[in-house]
Amino acid sequence: MRPSHCSVSPSRDDPAFRGCTWDEMVKAYYEQCEGLMAGGVDLFLLETIFDTLNAKAALFAIDKFFADKKCRIPVFVSGTIVDNSGRTLSGQTNEAFWNSLAHSKPLAIGLNCALGADDMKPYVENLSSCADCYVFCYPNAGLPNAMGGYDQKGDEFAEEIRPFMEAGILNGIGGCCGTSFEHIKAVADMAKEYQPRACHAVKSLMRLSGLEPLNYEPCLSNMRSTFLNVGERCNVAGSSIFKKAIVDGNWDKALSIAVKQVDAGADVVDINVDDGLIEPIGAMTKFVNLLVSDPEASKMPFMIDSSKFHVVECGVKCCQGKSIVNSISLKEGEEAFIKNARMVKAFGSAVVVMAFDENGQAATCKEKVSMCQRAYKILVEEVGFNAQDIVFDPNILTIGTGMAEHNDYAVDFINATREIKRTCPGCKISGGVSNLAFSFRGNEPVRRACHSVFLHYACAAGMDMGIVNAAHCIEDKYENIDKELLGYVEDLVLNRCDNATERMLEYAATLNPKSKPCALRKKGDVVEKVVEKGSSWRDKSVQDRLSHSLVKGIDEFVVRDTEEARTCGLYPRPLHVIEGPLMDGMSTVGDLFGAGKMFLPQVIKSARVMKKAVAHLIPFMEEEKRLMAEQEGIDADADNSVGTFVIATVKGDVHDIGKNIVAVVLGCNNWKVIDLGVMCSCQSILDACKEHNADILGLSGLITPSLDEMVTVAKEMEKAGFKIPLLVGGATTSRMHTAVKLTPQYSGPTVHVLDASRAVPVCSSLIDEKQYAEFVEDTRETYKEMREEFYAGLEDRKYVSLEQARAKALTVDFTTPENTPVTPKQLGVHVLRDFPIEEVVDYIDWNPFFQVWQLRGRYPNRGYPKIFNDETVGAEAKKLFDDAQTMLKDIIAHKKLSLRGVLGLFPANSVGDDIEVYAEDGERGAPRASFYTLREQAEKENTSEPYLALADFVAPKESGVKDYVGAFVTSAGFGLEEMTKAFKADNDDYSYILAEALADRLAEAFAEVVHIKIRKEYWGYAPDEDLSPDDLLKVKYDGIRPAPGYPSQPDHTEKNTMWELMKVAEETDVTLTESLAMLPAASVSALVFGGKCSKYFAVGKITDEQVQDYAARKKMDVKEVERWLATSLNYEP
């Protein structure tokens, strides 16, 4: 069974490219097994292996063949080395080669070809010492001569082999290139007088490999000295630089990060590409292939890390060495755990087992121990896993959070480590060490000292490895930590006193946050005083009190203080109070926000305080204006704002949360904001700019048709001769779209603004005469480069024809039990009016809620509820969450919002790329309606991947199998207008934005509940489903619910068919705008596919060929289709 290559790129220009995949190799070797067994062979010999990954695929296929056929014959494996370096062509040493393959337990292993016997001896000797099976060798008859022939005679050959016999390192001997019967006879005669090598046991260790072996032998008396540093910098969750490199496709940068980790002392390289912006299978495959091709990066073993097991599999299939899989757990039950464990064993990898079970994450010592003991028993007794290759991660959780229940997290881990090692012989202990001190992120000496102290005690208890910053782990020796700092840190880590966290916080405030624990520097000799607590600020001057109220968002005293400022004699006019202490306070707010020391919810609260103060002054200002108007020559209407900013959500779009936030933030910074609202026509926007003499225009939009409307506004601005800056923002906008589509249409400055925090500095640059020219020129130059990059990318990106894409569509056998469609229990349309809000609250996904407010925790405190532990935004996130809970209770108690929905289930079949919907569930004749789908066309690196369209998930009409599709619309927007109107009347920007954000979350939660009811009740294809809200957010259910206008079907016009089929407007009052946005805005719509074969995907860019085909099928004008699909075209229409 001869070799190929999986680890070596056949392309000089693309080291990540592979001529064949793991799966292709497994299939080919499996077929060889079938043929050879049918031919009557007595053993399988994998020979002349120069690529270990190739051998692993072959052995995987052989083991599968043995399992399938319930038979077994001996297996021999023979590698080959390319030169006197003793390495295979793919770079492995022969001991690393053995570590990679030992799991398959071959009857014999050896070396052949490549070198003459004399040169081969040291490598055979090494293989003989590390292998616990038989060892053989069949070298060449010396080295080839100048003509490629072999001159060594039989007796010479035998004498070169004699030292092998004398050393007792072989069980079998033979000849390869240049040998003949003469050579074999001479060797046989010589070997008669020697005893064969005696097989020996090998010390039981965890044996890993990259290009080189890593045989982990812990020093029980000093575990810290043998601790394995698992480098964390190739994990997108642990390194924003690495994530950006992967997202941008900057593979050279990503590779350099891996190499630096190895240089810094990493023993194992952790690889994780789990992120919403990254296609994980392609990224994992490409990056691991790149690492394998780099001799520096691949020296060490890899830890293939993903929460998705299929992504783990893709990574392991690229590793020629013996890797560590991170991770599996009992979270989904024993059946899934055993299945995944057996696959890891078949790959020959070690495995990290997280301390999770069906009830959640282990936090206490008792939970950690019991979960790990249970997993160990299953792995060793049922799966037959080598105990040395089991690595438990009992969860290192964050301490120093201020919550008493977290104080023992480090102690619990240490105690659990000791007990797990005692009761689970051979296992290893690992953990994410950087999780421990995230409460002190930003204070380097404290954070790093916590890690060092923790490792000191955890390793003494038996911890073997951890995901760490390798350089810090080596540099920050426990013995060298500043002794004063050490005392505070040990109190914290070991929870030696009740006030350890408070003492640590006070001490940390005295330290230079950029110093090191072993070279500590302080800010000064005296601890900085803590700001007085309580209400002592009320004793300060009125100016300071107003500033404090604004910065802290306290509105309790602001009217009283504003009146005191107006009447104290310091400010002759009411306007002076605004221009003086109020604007001073808001300037402080703006500075803190710009520096990242205040967050959006705080800024909105500050705006609420400001508006209350101004509202109190307005009647006095109006009276003053009246009196001044009576005095000739005095201008009572002077405008003292920085500038006038007109802002609008464009025609057809009803989404305005982001727009409202920008308006409030600019208002806080003394801009006169003219908010035109939503669904604003182009003409009304331009008229408003003229009427108010706008200095800047801001356009907002959420749905993709809004992008086209923004282009229209830009064109009309150019025609009308406008020169003012145009700012654009919103979920679907981007710098690239602005550079490519908008900037060429308008000669005035055009700038994309990512979020509210960027609005103020951008506007300030555009209004400042000193900054304007440089800022505009720099932006134009940047956008020009982006346009060139975009068009170059279009030329570089390859697309398959529509015919080719359809030929490689996903093929599903809908007659198999797994894929046979389930007949819905309740076909037809079902209306849900006044659905109880209480039933959807538990399904709210709070992560987008915090994103609306631009609160983002840093790893590992990303996402709800971990965000509350984040050092920077955690406290503010908790306040915001508590406010949301209060408002939510009020909404429920007083029925301020009502939930309305409609769902439909229809007979359906696919016809090509279309989905026909039928009136009756009988003969599938003429369709009642059709949903039209789009197919992927961007060429894929993995040639075995299908090119998907949503129609692939529905049984073809020609199959005769009856299938079905569903659809639904949910809304939580009824009653929202009345709520926000009341808040606006009270100048309460914070509450009305909070109400809008909650309504949006309720609509999404309602959609989650409706989808559950479809799966379990109305359609009933998953009646026994029992998933937690967390599992639902991770899409662990069968089926999908893609929405028109989103990646799987980017065409919003498909909503029209949904509305007609379900009579949505008539039944729920949810309507569509001319841009097909839903009204109320807090609404969700989706199609529903129930098959296990269905999955989410992104259509991506499509060619003009598919656009024309799609337009013909939909009976639409091509230009109209191009308008709706503008962001999905791979060409300029």
Annotated catalytic sites, by residue?
653, 655, 706
Write the CB contacts of 426 (distance below 8 Å, at least 6 apart in sequence): 204, 386, 387, 388, 390
Strand partners, 840: none
| 41 within 8 A of 88, measured Cβ to Cβ | no
Name the 3-class secondary structure at 899.
strand
Class of residue 776 by CB neighbours under 10 A (exposed 0-12, middle 13-18, buried 19+): middle
Residues 6+ apart with CB under 8 A from 320: 6, 7, 51, 52, 53, 56, 90, 92, 100, 292
Distance of alpha carbon 1033 from the chain centroid: 14
* Complete edge-to-edge strand list for the sheet that includes strand 672-675: 672-675, 644-649, 696-700, 726-729, 750-752
Structure tokens at 1105: 């060929």
Is the CB of residue 722 less than 8 Å from the CB of residue 748?
Answer: yes
Q: Per DSSP, what are the bridge partners of residue 729?
A: 700
What DSSP character marks residue 72? -
Which of 547, 614, 604 has its CA nearest to residue 581? Answer: 547
Retrieve residue 424's tokens. Answer: 């689970």
Distance CA 546, CA 550 (A): 6
SS3 labels along 180-223: CHHHHHHHHHHHCCCCCCCCCCCCCCEEEECCCEEEECCCCCCH
* DSSP line for 344-394: HHHHT-EEEEESEETTEE--SHHHHHHHHHHHHHIIIIII---GGGEEEE-
Contact 1070, 972 (CB under 8 A): no
Residues 451 and 433: beta-carbon distance below 8 Å: yes
Give 816: exposed, middle or buried? Use CB within 10 Å, 0-12, 13-18, 19+.
exposed
Q: For 58-190, where are the E strands, in sequence order?
A: 75-79, 108-116, 134-140, 172-173
Decide: helix, strand or coil at residue 333: coil
Report residue 595 as tokens.
């520096």
Element (H, E) at 1086: strand 1083-1088
Alpha-helical regions (H) of 938-1028? 976-985, 989-1013
SS3 assignment, position 829: strand
Distance CA 11, CA 33 (A): 30
Q: Is the separation of the CB atoms in 980 and 994 below 8 Å?
A: no
ω into 213 cis (within 30 of 0):
no
- Nearest-angstrom CA–CA distance, 50 and 80: 5
The overall longest dimension of the chain from CA atoms, in Å, is 128
Calculate the alpha carbon distances from 1100 to 734, 796, 949 in Å.
16, 15, 11
In sequence order, what are the residues at sequence separation of 6 or more whose Cβ sits closer than 8 angstroms to the Cβ of residue 279? Answer: none
Can you say whether residue 909 is alpha, beta or left, with left for phi > 0 and alpha for psi between -120 and 50 degrees? beta
Pairing of strands 206-209, 172-173: unpaired
Task: Return the H-helix or E-strand segment holding 611.
Answer: helix 600-629
